[in-house]
Chain A
Amino acid sequence: METTEVVMAGFGGQGMLLAGKILAQASLQQGREVSWLPSYGPEMRGGTANVIVCISSKPIGSPLVESPRALMVMNLPSLEKFAPKVRRGGVIVVNSSLIKRDPRRNDCVVIQVPARELAQQAGSDKASNFVMLGAYVGATGVVPAEAIEAAIEHEFCGDKARFVAANTAAFRAGLEQARKALQGSSS
């Protein structure tokens, strides 16, 4: 497999760093090289947070990527900041529950995901990040869905095991959303 990168961005607290960690963990279990680089600049509460995850079959050179192959955005400021940087032919997953603007990238695969609604249906208001992760994995096939589900179980262990079911359901809802979106665009 070639190298791929995804930028995951949103407000602090929307869970993009955690979604990135799950993706990195799943990729590691698949025998890939990974890096997870968070933004750690001075930020205020409610400010933006993002992470760059690189996945490759070779050792990762620069963990900092200017033009990623994929983007997952939870809010408008992140869309405005990162959407123009995605490579041609890349994938952009947009949280349509919060973002009403089109990314204006006709040269990319854009997947609109009503993340909050799907998360609520899956049983957790807080699982929007896993819906988004599901859509990204569904659109790119970067890792098998089972690897993500195993990583969710790995992350939410002990006291936190009660969150596994809703987070996994949210992830699956995202996968399904991406499948439907891709079918719709190809027909």
Chain B
Amino acid sequence: MKVLMKGNEALGEAAIRAGCVHFFGYPITPQTEVPEYLVKRLPQVGGVFVQAESEVAAINMVFGAAGVGVKCMTSSSSPGISLMAEGLSYIAACELPCVIVNIMRAGPGLGGILPSQSDYLQATRGHGHGDYQLIVLAPSTVQEAVDLMTLAFELAERYRNPVMLCADGMIGQMMEPVEFSGEGRGAPLAENDWALTGCRGRARRIVNSLYLTPELLHRHNVKLKDKYDLVAAKEQRWEVYNGEQAYDMLLVAFGTMARVCKTAIDELGQAGLRVALFRPITLNPFPLAACREAMDGASAGAPVLTVEMSMGQLVLDVKLAVAGSRSVELYGTAGGIVLSPDQVAERIRSLLGQRANPTICAQAQADGVPCPEVGRDCAICARVYAPHG
């Protein structure tokens, strides 16, 4: 049965259904409903909720809990995630499973509390020190946030690696219908040979990231690299929207911006312009080959347009995918401003320029008035015609 839930609360419930009953965190807008929900729910399912004294403490509590083999998580928003960088590097080095939720807000610094995607590079490029990687998942709806939360715990356990779920303030704050799979509290971690569970009757286990012998540390890094390569080979996820037939242009966007792009694409479709969207769901590993394939489906010579709520982060991976085969344009925004479908549609039109298929807005035709600009769609006409004030 579908229920109407806020993104943040749905993430909390999804964690419990995935078997996570240990939460450590510290409040920060716009993610506070995650701990607010869990502080109410976790005692009902025999779980543990700790409000730490800081994000630094929270991530180290996660480190400890993961080390003794319990499914655990923390959540925060951008400035709080920055504080967790050191702990995440240690957790990744020790190969411990856990989930980190980042409900991104506008930065840098204290920034603002409105939605943003400007922690893309922080999330996908390791974020703390040393050669480590997080697996990074990016939902674009509340339902997908729930589904990816389940996946996050599965991947964390399978690869013994921290997994970050990156959403933004809009997905965290909005309500949408969601359906949960499974009932009540999910299963704990499976039996394993690494968790510190007390060594009576067996050999000691050690969770440690200190390797003072260069050869041993090198070997450890090679092992991690092999794991990341395996993740990259097996776990890439993406969606192509409106790509069934030939298209004039390809957009690349994730999360909130991807759904805004879908609306823009639908509106342009009514005006006869064919535009497709490539949406990475795993930001790391980034689906480079699939992205390249989607680009190759666009009309020759048309640029690839990257739309993101940051000033040029996702676009760097898009450039890796395109590998010089065509030009890449960036439509970025910051400060918590979410681009509207109309703004995205306008940018696409201007980039396609002469390529636009001239279509007069149907509404304007029906009303017997000239469309203010040939090739514009009804939504824009409606706005232009609306008497202001």
Contacts and interface: CB of A to CB of B under 8 A. Distances in A.
B104 interface: no
B30 A40 contact: yes
Nearest to A67: B383
Contacts of B173: 37-38, 40
A47 interface: no
Contacts of B340: 62, 64-66
A105 interface: yes
A172 B338 CA distance: 37
A107 B114 CA distance: 34
Interface in B1-47: 2, 4, 29-30
A186 interface: no
A61 interface: yes
A45 B177 CA distance: 30
Contacts of B177: 28, 33-34
A61 B382 contact: no
B4 A34 contact: yes
B382 A35 contact: no
B212 to A, nearest CB: 49
B109 interface: no
A88 B381 CA distance: 10
B388 A84 contact: yes
A104 B387 contact: yes
Contacts of A33: 177
Contacts of B333: none
Nearest to A38: B173
B262 interface: yes
B176 A84 contact: no
Interface in B221-254: none
Interface residues of B, number: 33
Contact of B174 (A41, A63, A66, A107): A63
Nearest to A52: B174
Interface string A18-29: 000100110010
Given A42-B113, A104-B387, A61 B174 contact: no
A87 B386 contact: yes
Contacts, number: 91
Contact of A36 (B4, B262, B382, B386): B4
Contacts of B264: 62
B61 interface: no
Interface of A, helix, strand, loop or mixed by DSSP: loop
B225 to A, nearest CB: 39
B341 interface: yes
Contacts of A35: 174-176
Given A66-B383, A88-B382, A24 B262 contact: no
B176 A40 contact: no
A85 interface: yes
Interface string B252-267: 0000000110111010
B73 interface: no
Interface string B146-160: 000000000000000
Nearest to B172: A40
Interface string B331-352: 0000010101110000000000
30 contacts: A21-B4, A24-B4, A24-B175, A25-B4, A28-B177, A34-B4, A34-B177, A35-B175, A35-B176, A36-B176, A37-B170, A40-B29, A59-B141, A60-B176, A61-B259, A61-B260, A62-B340, A63-B176, A64-B170, A64-B260, A64-B338, A67-B379, A84-B386, A84-B388, A84-B389, A88-B386, A104-B387, A104-B389, A106-B387, A107-B385
Interface of B: 2, 4, 29-30, 113-114, 141, 169-170, 173-177, 259-260, 262-264, 266, 336, 338, 340-342, 379, 382-383, 385-389
